[in-house]
Structure 1
Amino acid sequence: MNQDTFEPKNELEKQLQCALDGSVSGDDFMRYLMDAQVFMPVEDEANQIKGFQRSTRAQPLVLEDETGTRVLVLFTSPERAKAFVENHPGYGGGLLTEFAWVLRKMGAPAGIALNPGLDAGFDLEPEMVADLMASLPPEA
């Protein structure tokens, strides 16, 4: 990965770049990520009013990798998602929310791809996602 071409635009991206270059440990980055805000592309509703989501159940962008593993797609900001979602019609919108909230709403552990297709990104295997889900404190 060529980190020189990725210019961080928010604190999450700064922390991610530090984790990728080794100046922040992977464990420290994961602790930061748990409370960080991520962008989750969601499927557009038919007959929607622009900017208004009627459904209470957003359908996130989930792909299958070459081994058949389901992978939830997340980004560090809506801007980082633009080029990727162009190849996935129907996913023009999305949610900005905390990473821990995403984990809580996942039914079964799947893989997670953060910033797929970008120089600064990474994948979490389903086992790691399951461990993160299990580490979440109970909701108040």
Structure 2
Amino acid sequence: MFEPENDIERLLVHASAEPAERPRFARALMDAEVFVVLVPEGGRIPPGVDGKTVIPQGTKLSMPGAMRGQETLIPFFTSPSRAKAWFAGDHVVAPDRTRDLFERHPGAPFVLNPNSDYGKDFTPAEVTRLLAGEYDSGPQTVTASSPQQVLLAHPKEIPAALIEALAREFDALPSVRGAWLMLATYPGQSEQSWILGVDHQGPWPDVREAIGRVLAGDILGGRTLDALPLEGSSLAATLRTGIPVTAARRGPLH
């Protein structure tokens, strides 16, 4: 059970259910206090005589990586408790600022709150946009492991331009086996948004970057678009009944 402990966690939970709130969350996160895990060289921290953590002078500290498939991401956390829940070995939790953390590691992917009910991946391209002050452009991924009620519907009008643009991008990704588009209504959300379910066998960041290229223009017409991998999703069966978004090159039967 994820109970928000501070303002940035409350914004994170809100953004997971309200796509329109995600730019606000991104803007707040950049200057928020966050936390990182630091592990000493050798992996051991000797306890002090009073039981408190003691870091010997000259000890080198480093941040452990978080694995996402074959990719290593830099983890950071919205509270000390999220960090402690993720790393079981000897470590210290140190405060940081998101903007400073991003600037110290140019070109690196990040993950907020790995293994938590609410977290977010940041691709290198997204980090670059955020550092440039672009909070509402490009795809963002917010993870919500807690169940959410979503009402899915078939659109009355097919968004031909959006489907064609997605198909062109997915045609260049052999990992994409199929994709389907529907409309989604989230609790407390007055406007419908697009939701895209993707069957893929490969790194999800590749799919996310392809979608980002499609969304570079105003192709959504004011709507937002959420994308999710279908494997293991409770929405998979329903989403596969949506509008097919598949490239022409998918095998002899296509």
* Shared fold, TM over 0.5: yes
| 1:78 aligned partner, one-letter code | P
Q: Greater RCO between the two (CA within 8 Å, min separation 6)?
A: 1
Cα distance change on mapping 1:8 and 1:24 into 2, 3 Å: farther
Query: Counterparts in 2 of 1:35-114, with a 5 A limit?
Result: 35-45=31-41, 50-52=53-55, 54=57, 58-66=61-69, 68-86=70-88, 89-90=89-90, 92-106=91-105, 108-114=106-112
- How far 1:52 sits from its partner (Å)? 4.3
Map Cα deviations across residues 33-61 of structure 1 (whole Å, 9 max, x no partner). 01101111111245767344745974222
Structure possessing the higher radius of gyration over alpha carbons:
2
The sequence identity of aligned pairs, in percent, is 28
1:25 aligns with 2:21: yes
What CA distance in whole angstroms lies between the structure 2 residues aligned with 1:123 and 1:80? 15
| 1:111 aligned partner, one-letter code | P
For the aligned residue pairs, the C-alpha RMSD in angstroms reads: 2.6
Aligned residues: 127
Q: Is the 8 A contact 1:72 1:112 kept in 2?
A: yes
- How far 1:101 sits from its partner (Å)? 1.1
Q: Is the 8 A contact 2:30 2:97 kept in 1?
A: yes
Question: TM-score, length-normalised on structure 1?
Answer: 0.75
Identify the range of structure 1 (34-43 vs 124-133) with the bigger mean alpha-carbon deviation: 124-133
What CA distance in whole angstroms lies between the structure 2 residues aligned with 1:54 and 1:131? 38
Cα distance change on mapping 1:8 and 1:69 into 2, 3 Å: same
* Unaligned stretches of 5+ residues in structure 2: 47-52, 135-254
1:124 aligns with 2:122: yes
Q: Is the 8 A contact 1:76 1:115 kept in 2?
A: yes
Superposed structure 1 runs of 4+ greater than 6 Å apart: none
More helix by share: 1
More strand by share: 2
* Unaligned stretches of 5+ residues in structure 1: none
What CA distance in whole angstroms lies between the structure 1 residues aligned with 2:67 and 2:73? 6
**Which residue number in structure 1 is paired with residue 8 of structure 2?**
12
What CA distance in whole angstroms lies between the structure 2 residues aligned with 1:55 and 1:130? 33
Cα distance change on mapping 1:24 and 1:10 into 2, 3 Å: farther
Cα distance change on mapping 1:57 and 1:100 into 2, 3 Å: farther
What CA distance in whole angstroms lies between the structure 1 residues aligned with 2:111 and 2:35? 12
